[in-house]
Structures are given as structure tokens and as C-alpha cells.
Amino acid sequence: MDKVEQSIVFLLTPKSKIVTLNEEYTIRQCLEKMKHYGYSAMPVLNQKGEYVATVSEGDFLWHLLQKGEYNIETQEDYTLKDIVRITWNKPIHIYAKLEEVLTQVMDQNFVPVVDDRDMFMGIITRKSVMQYYSKKYLESPTA
């Protein structure tokens, strides 16, 4: 693998093409946005654009069960920062090696990517990694 291929930039879906949530959004806003786009997990950013966490449908489910409040209007009393797990789906830095992406994408559908200032740059999806390795395999002389 040459030096250019070791960069992960070619796998990146840029933030301009990603739907994100803000940690200040209410639970209701987040649920409605996730439903609209049909996502099961979404990156969460703060006001500065820094990556905070990834929130999943399960996080919302646990919140609803813990609060015992299932009416969508009552979810306006809670913000996303009240329920996110910052230890799940840790981001990688843009200068990470391809092997690091492969390791993380085995356990999650996408890997958030940040720059040196922790500013969100985009995501690398499991699909893009699988497509890359599939193409490399099919192009190899032993395939």
C-alpha cells in the first residue's frame, strides 16, 4: 500500500453531506429528525462544531424507560446532552491509519472523524471500507 492509500481522507464522507444533531436539541427534536431521515444513529456536535458523541435509538429508548415518560411533548424538557454516552463511538483523527479505521468499523456502522482541534470533519462508513477492500481484492492478481 503506498503512502496516498494509507490516508483515510479518500474514505471520508464530509460533514457537508452528513446530518448531525446538536447537543442542545431537545429529545423531541432529535427523535423527529432521526425519524425523518431514517437513521438509527447520528453524530452529535456542540455549538462550535466539535464532535461530542454518537446517539443511537437505544439511547433514546433507555431514556424513555428511565424517565417513564412516553409522550413526545414531555421530551421537550430534556436535551440531548442529558443522555449521550461520550464513551461510545469515539472519533478518530484525520491522520489515523487505515488499519485503525478497519478496527473501529468492525464494531460500529460509522466512525466519526475529527481534526486536531476536535472539529467534526465527517464520517467513514462501514460500507465505504467494505467497498474499498472489496475493490482491492478484486483487483489483486490472486483474486
Instruction: Report the number of distinct structural domains present in the chain.
Output: 1
pLDDT tens profile 58-86: 999 999 999 998 888 999 999 999 999 88
Tell me the average pLDDT across 100-123: 93
Give the list of residues 6+ apart from residue 92 with CB closer than 8 angstroms, or none.
Answer: 8, 100, 101, 104, 111, 112, 113, 114, 124
CATH of the domain at 91: 3.10.580.10
Note down the domain range covering 126.
Answer: 3-139
Grid cell digits, residue 88 = 461510545
Tell me the average pLDDT across 20-34: 96
Tell me the average pLDDT across 5-32: 92
- pLDDT given at position 140: 73
Tell me the average pLDDT across 103-128: 93
Number of other CB atoms surrounding residue 63 within 10 Å = 19
- State the number of CA atoms in the 13 A half-sphere of 35 facing the CB: 8
First to last CA, the chain: 17
Helix or strand run (H / E) with residue 38:
none
- pLDDT given at position 86: 82
- pLDDT given at position 36: 97
* pTM reported for the whole predicted model: 0.86
Q: Is the pLDDT of residue 54 over 60?
A: yes
